[in-house]
Structure 1
Amino acid sequence: MEKISVGKNFHLELMRRIKLIRELCFSGKISEAVKLLFTCDHYCDPQTYAFLLQETINLKESKLGRRIHTHMIINGHVPNHYLTTKLAIFYAKTGVLDSARYLFDEMPHRGLVPWNAIISGYVQNGLEQQGLDLYYSMRVSGLCPDHFTFASVFRACAGLAKLEHGKRAHCVMMKIPKLRDNVVVSSALIDMYFKCTSPCDGRRVFERASDRNVVSWTALISGYGNHGNTTEALYLFHRMIEEGTRPNYVTFLAVLSACSHGGFIDAGWKYFNSMEKEYGIIPKGEHYASMIDMLGRAGKLEEAFEFIKKSPCKEHSVVWGALLGACRIHGDEKLGKIVAETFFELQPDNIGKHIVLSNTYAALDMWEKSAELRQSIGMLGTKKEPALSSVEVKGEVWTFLVGDKSHEESEMIYETLNALNFTLMEGG
């Protein structure tokens, strides 16, 4: 469609196109709507921009969202407060945090919605500390948190294993009556307590909740499974069904993971087979990967290999990755070679897989193969960012990496660590 020309029927044609853009948004045809937007030049209104941005958020269409923002800029459209908030939400949800933070910082008045968006954006992208810091800044500003705020804060505390911060947020939440029985918040709170090694508190939150759904049940089952208490996890799964809550595919992931960690192979097969037969849930790649992990932990590598070959997910790299990890742990060089080749062939340009494979070859004493892959990573001009760890000591967060000697007392730290290791080895 050609651009609108100023003339006798200009306003009628403009209104027709804007109406069509909105109709395309409602029907999910966002790509066509954005194409039509670029025929309207600087005549688009804020409401239409907001409709378009919301649809890109719903459909996770980051490229199209950026094109909409580009259209605003090249046509000199200065977004109002509502539209600026929409843009901040869009960038936060699509992981472009620098742009989201810039828009957020430029807002003269910040309501709860932009605060929640930016906090959630940081937490969902693995920057939990920044998200937690923003929560405290929001509290200083005088705004009252809602269930979206607390869900993000509890996830941040879970990711950072900051129990005391989680308990403080829990105390604040309890002072807001309408949030005490919110199932979204309680589920995040259960998950936080378990990940912060306080399962008793997590169980207490669950038992006191007046409203439970599949999410809160799954959080509890997953918590016990991750803590190695498979028996309790499976008991809770059956209790959930008896109380009338139907499991979903995430619940079965938690159950299969629990069986894997506990070595409950027969039970694992039973629950896996019941997914489609009894509940109509078709297993996904992650479920097959859990089964492979379960068999791999038990040393049943050939059985796991045959299971993959017969599965509908044999083209999923996640299942081959699970078996590759098992081959590395058990030192099965022969099968490891076969699995490694298949794993690599599925996504040969994935740098992360180059690194995983190189480490696997090294673990299997296949040093030439490992060196070749390391060389190929260098030729691609890609450098792996070092993995950082952090620990909180007396309220201060310290970040470090393997072999880090940046601390002024690093020599004494390593001497103490070596002495502790020696003492532990002596004690068996």
Structure 2
Amino acid sequence: MRSAHDREILRLAWPAFLALVAEPLFLLSDAAIVGHLGTPELAGLGIAAVILQTIVGLCVFLAYGTTASVARQLGAGNTARALAQGIDGVWLALVIGVIATGAGLLLLNPAIAAFGASDAVNGFAADYLRIALLGITPLLVMLATTGILRGLQDTKTPLIVAVGGNVLNLLLNVVLVFGVGSFQGLGIAGSALGSVIAQVVSAGALLWVVVRAARAEGAALTPDLPGIRAAGRAGLPLVIRTVTLRAAILVTTYAVVAGAAGTANQTVDVATHQLAMTLWGFLAFVLDAIAIAAQAITGRHLGAGDLGAARAVTRRMIQWGAVSGVATGLLLAASSPVLGVLFTNDANVQDRLVPVLLVAAIGQPLAGVVFVLDGVLIGAGDGRYLAWAGIVVLLVYAPAALLASSIGGLVLVWIAFAGIFMAARGVVLMVRAQGDQWMVTGVSASPRR
């Protein structure tokens, strides 16, 4: 039985792993290219990336919630209904995307100023964000359509699109940032423009695959207001959960900026934190591959009413998460002395990055288990518990991060993040997973007729 679970996990996790690795390469390639423009530009990208990731991250329920609901319907044998619910999520993504883009453009300057960085850094952050915000809607469509395909147990198609989009992003960034021939390049604004173009192309490709599948099953493609509202209500607990996670990232960034306020090292610390958080996010996507498999498999087993299989595969995925975390931790620790050179020419940033990455490496095994358990509970539709658990964790972590900032600065803040924050998440998730309240079988009735 264990080998059967392993094969199923590997079938879904391996393509998801490659796709998830490709996704953060949008930011990694941006960081590598912008970092060679200068340290102020890299610090500006760091602030812009936090804001952009927060906006998009709040809507991650479009992928996670859709994966769970579609997988449940698939497990119950309702493929057409699964696609209909997924289409409702796509329409919801379009609505949210338009609203978020407008709000982001209106609040751009106050949001950047809230971090308290220098005028030069703020200027570069604004240059990037003004263009990058136009990519929010295609990004949300990518989330919704990817969630549909994962729920249908298809992780290969998102992989193909992610790889193609990332290659396009890299090529466009090099040309638009540095120029070619008589074209002088656009600097940091060119990086944002290249990413937006790649995101539009990727969203179009995923949408085409989903629409074709829906037509084949006879699922409606037109907007269904009750279905869209139902998707929004179902996603609200996951929004709260994501808000708490993004708030923790924002608190961490604020703590780093505040800890170095008034010192000559502020720009160096912010730039170092940006690189470390980008690499942490990259590894989080790597570990999240098993969590993606957990969402799809858990939802399908519970939809089919197979509690034994859901429990058994959960235990196995936790083991996978721990082993994967050890592997990524060892890799990060071993490569920490040379990673800084890839992203910046500033020797001070390179030196500051090493101890921060060693702290992040130590936290990887725990992170692997946390991400898997998070995926299991999302796949089970246990969003309400995740929302309350996220609030509790944030209340524990925020004071610790601010205290670490006032005492020891950058490295101590990262110790609080990789230690206290991840440990608190691990406790609340393990407590829930030990019980049976999250193991609810069956499917929710679709609002579509």
- Which TM class, normalised by the smaller chain length? under 0.3
- Ranked by relative contact order (alpha carbons within 8 Å, sequence separation 6 or more), the top structure is 2
Task: Look at both structures and tell me which one has the larger radius of gyration over its CA atoms.
Answer: 1
What is the TM-score normalised by the length of structure 2? 0.22
